Every structure is written in C-alpha cells, then in structure tokens.
C-alpha cells in the first residue's frame, strides 16, 4: 500500500513538473534579449546621378559592429570597400596617347593602362528590428540609416614605368573625391536559436555629396570645384557572428 501511494505521489509530482517546464518553455521561446553582433557582407551596387557619368556597377564588401537591444533597437557602425572595372570617364588619359592611340613607357614601347574604380565608405547607423513574420523574437524586418562619408577615385594601373604617370602625376587624373554621405538599409535579419545560422539581406542605398581633393585636373587644365551627387544602390547579403554569451534559456533549448 505504501509503495502504491509512493508511486502515485511520484507520478503526480512528475506531471506537475512537466506542466511547469512546458509553460516556461513557451515564455522562454518568445523571449528577446540584447545581442552584440559582427557582420561581414557583400553587395552588388549600381550607380545613378553624377556617379553614373564616371562609373558603372561595382562590388562592395563590408563589415560592421552593431547591437540589437531587447526592445528591437539597432545601432552601430559599418565600413565598406568598393571596386569595379567599369570606368565610364575613360578619356582622361587621351592627351598622353600617341597617334596610334597608345601610351608608351620610358623605353618607347606601348604599355597597357587599366582604369578601375576604387573607394570606401563609413557610417554610423541606427534603426529598428520589427518582429514580423519571424520564427523567434530576435529576428524580423530590419530598417536602419545613418550619416558618414564616401570616397572614390579612378585607379590607374600599368606594369611598366611611365614617366608622365608617376605616383604624383596620377593625382592629376584620378578624380579623387570625398564627401558627406547618408546610408540606408531595409531588409530581413535572422538569428537562429542554435547560433549557427545567422544572416541578413536587403536593399542598401547610399547618397553622397563629394568633391575632388585635387587642385585641378591635368587633362582639362581646369580646377574641379563641382560638388557631385553620388548615388549607389544594390542588394546586400551578409553573415552574422553573435557575441553574446549563451543564456540559461539557450542552454535549456539546446
């Protein structure tokens, strides 16, 4: 009889414990918390406005550090390096070409000269994560924006020595420009519970107002004082590294 009562008592306690953890599991499953993150991303960008007169599409590799708070606020900073082979303002070296349309090196032989796009950007960002159409409370639609700077130039490269294109002379042709810029992003961020699959993707837009830092351009012989309107847009996809320690809730689920 005592054994039967003991078994009944054990089963009752076990049943109540199971109900307790099942109830808490639902609460834990929907909990949100602060998560510091590092990101690495790639974007294929297209140009518009004044920048489209100088460059075509480019590649953009970026990294960022940010914090997503318990309430879904998102803030941090990001940096990007951009490059591309589509230079539309490709007549800047015409004055250095001979009658055959070639540029010769110091030995008098034709040399192939390549024009590429190089640049970078840096931004402080702030925004909001909206927990919509998400499998957990730390994922959802992400929107952020912020101020920063944009710089770009025409990279002039060749293998042989060209006296008229020394490192100092290149500055008269490269159109090196720097200025204030704004960046915005709208997309989706996913942070998994197992901490392995964390990514984001969406539309990335940059509007810059840049001005040449060179005193004047050698090919025109004129100063370049124009403020350029530089517009870049494209789709950015990135991987996220979470820096937060495992919480008690995460240990419980895994």
Condensed to tens digits (0 to 9), the pLDDT of residues 47-77 reads: 999 999 999 999 999 999 999 999 999 999 9
CB atoms within 10 A of CB 207: 17
5 compared with 141, residue with greater pLDDT: 141
Structure tokens given for 179:
């200025």
Confidence of residue 232 (pLDDT cuts 50, 70, 90): very high
Q: What is the pLDDT of residue 194?
A: 79
Is residue 5 predicted with pLDDT exceeding 90?
Answer: no
Cα–Cα nearest to 154, from 224, 101, 102:
224
Is residue 228 predicted with pLDDT exceeding 90?
Answer: yes
Pairing of strands 73-84, 227-242: unpaired
The 8-class DSSP code of residue 135 comes to S
**Distance between CA atoms of residues 82 and 85, nearest Å:** 11
pLDDT tens-digit profile of 111-135? 999 999 999 999 999 999 999 999 9
Specify whether the CB–CB gap between 117 and 152 falls below 8 A: yes
174 compared with 108, residue with greater pLDDT: 174
Q: What is the pLDDT averaged over residues 6-31?
A: 45
The 8-class DSSP code of residue 217 comes to B
Q: What is the pLDDT averaged over residues 242-246?
A: 78
Q: What is the pLDDT of residue 247?
A: 55
The 8-class DSSP code of residue 98 comes to -
Give the three-class secondary structure for 140.
strand
List of domains in the chain: 36-253 (2.40.160.20)
pLDDT tens-digit profile of 208-221? 999 999 989 999 99
pLDDT tens-digit profile of 171-201? 999 999 999 999 999 999 999 987 789 999 9
């Amino acid at each position: 009889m005592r054994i039967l009562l003991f078994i009944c008592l054990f089963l009752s306690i076990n049943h109540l414990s199971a109900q307790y953890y099942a109830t808490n599991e639902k609460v834990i499953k929907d909990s949100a918390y602060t998560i510091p993150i590092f990101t690495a991303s790639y974007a294929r960008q297209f140009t518009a406005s004044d920048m489209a007169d100088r460059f075509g599409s480019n590649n953009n590799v970026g990294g960022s550090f940010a914090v997503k708070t318990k309430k879904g606020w998102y803030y941090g900073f990001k940096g990007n390096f951009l490059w591309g082979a589509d230079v539309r303002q490709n007549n800047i070296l015409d004055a250095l070409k001979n009658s055959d349309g070639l540029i010769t090196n110091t030995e008098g032989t034709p040399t192939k000269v390549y024009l590429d796009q190089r640049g970078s950007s840096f931004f402080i960002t702030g925004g909001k994560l909206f927990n919509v159409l998400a499998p957990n409370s730390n994922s959802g639609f992400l929107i952020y924006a912020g101020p920063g700077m944009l710089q770009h130039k025409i990279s002039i490269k060749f293998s042989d020595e060209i006296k008229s294109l020394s490192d100092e002379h290149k500055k008269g042709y490269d159109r090196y420009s720097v200025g204030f810029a704004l960046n915005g992003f709208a997309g989706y961020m996913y942070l998994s519970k197992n901490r392995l699959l964390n990514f984001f993707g969406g539309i990335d837009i940059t509007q810059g107002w840049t001005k040449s830092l060179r005193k004047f351009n050698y090919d025109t012989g004129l100063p370049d004082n124009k403020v350029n309107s530089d517009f870049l847009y494209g789709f950015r996809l990135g991987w996220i590294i979470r820096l937060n320690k495992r919480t008690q809730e995460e240990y419980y689920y895994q």
